[in-house]
Structure 1
Amino acid sequence: MTEKYLQLNDIDAYKKAFHLSNYVWDVVVNWNGIAQHTVGVQFIRAADSISANIAEGFGRYFKKDKIKFYRYSSGSVKESLDWNEKAKVRNLIEQEQYQYIFTALQQLPEAINRLIKYTDIKLAV
């Protein structure tokens, strides 16, 4: 019998963040030039950074390194919330798009915190 090792795509926080980043991309690519170059690029980078930091942390060996990157992803959640608000106030996104992104961003901190707790408990080093 072979033992199954945890894979990146098994992590709930990663899957949610990855899906969200692609949703944000799909929204922003339809904006006009000035909106894309100001709010859009920053919004995409912040949303992409959530799953990217989870992936980088997952690839680290030491528990402290892993958790550090998972915490960076939490910061990117907060940044993404800010860009989502700016996009709403500047009439760049529809209410439905805003609400979808907002709801996803509200769910991510709990998923990231579960990942941090799991990592802290399961890893010795």
Structure 2
Amino acid sequence: MERTKFEELQVYQLAEKLADKIWNIVEEWNQFSKDTVGKQIVRAADSIGANIAEGNGRYSFQDNQRFVKIARGSLYETRHWLRRAYVRHLLTNEQVNKLKPIIDELSPKLNAYLNYLESAAKKQSTKHNEKNNQQPTTNN
């Protein structure tokens, strides 16, 4: 089964972009904010890309799907922490306006990637079943 390198996946590249932008923002916060919200949001954002990468390195489409679902959960967690940071006046409107388009693009791309993996898993399963159901012919 041939796979595309995860670094070439648009969904992975967006995850990296989001994580790097969040890192750069959090770096400027005071120590208390970094230790509380900052560490949580950076871990959640980094986890998106990490899970896409790990899933891509797994043997089966089903394993890959599981890690993409975890990545999606990490994106939701990132959204949570961004909301908390905004409410606590750690994020400016300008920063939110830079992050929002990335998140708005990343979310459907994660779902599309998951749908692709589900479709690929079904095709693989169908091919496997067809192969196993072929009965050898005998000469009588």
Could you state the TM-score of these two structures normalised by the residue count of structure 2? 0.81
Any gaps of 5 or more consecutive residues in structure 2?
Answer: 126-140
Q: Within 2, Cα distance between the matches of 1:12 and 1:95?
A: 26
After the TM superposition, list the runs of 4 or more consecutive aligned residues in structure 1 that deviate by more than 4 angstroms. none
Per the TM alignment, residue 63 of structure 1 is displaced from its structure 2 partner at its CA by 1.1
Could you tell me which residue of structure 1 aligns to residue 78 of structure 2?
A: 80
Q: Secondary structure at the match of 1:91?
A: coil
Could you state the TM-score of these two structures normalised by the residue count of structure 1? 0.91
Deviations 1:50-106 (A, max 9, x none): 101100101111111100000001001111111111111111111111122233222
- Identify the range of structure 1 (74-83 vs 108-117) with the bigger mean alpha-carbon deviation: 108-117
**Identity, % of aligned positions:** 34
Could you tell me which residue of structure 1 aligns to residue 106 of structure 2?
A: 108
CA contact (8 A) 1:14 1:51 kept: yes
Could you tell me which residue of structure 1 aligns to residue 128 of structure 2?
A: none
Could you tell me which residue of structure 2 aligns to residue 91 of structure 1?
A: 89
> How many residues in Structure 1 have an aligned counterpart in Structure 2?
122
**Which amino acid counterpart does residue 120 of structure 2 have in structure 1?**
K
Larger radius of gyration: 2
Could you tell me which residue of structure 1 aligns to residue 18 of structure 2?
A: 20
- Identify the range of structure 1 (115-124 vs 11-20) with the bigger mean alpha-carbon deviation: 115-124
CA contact (8 A) 2:61 2:120 kept: no
Q: Within 2, Cα distance between the matches of 1:89 and 1:54?
A: 29
Any gaps of 5 or more consecutive residues in structure 1?
Answer: none
Q: Which of these residues, 35, 38, 49, is aligned with residue 37 of structure 1?
A: 35
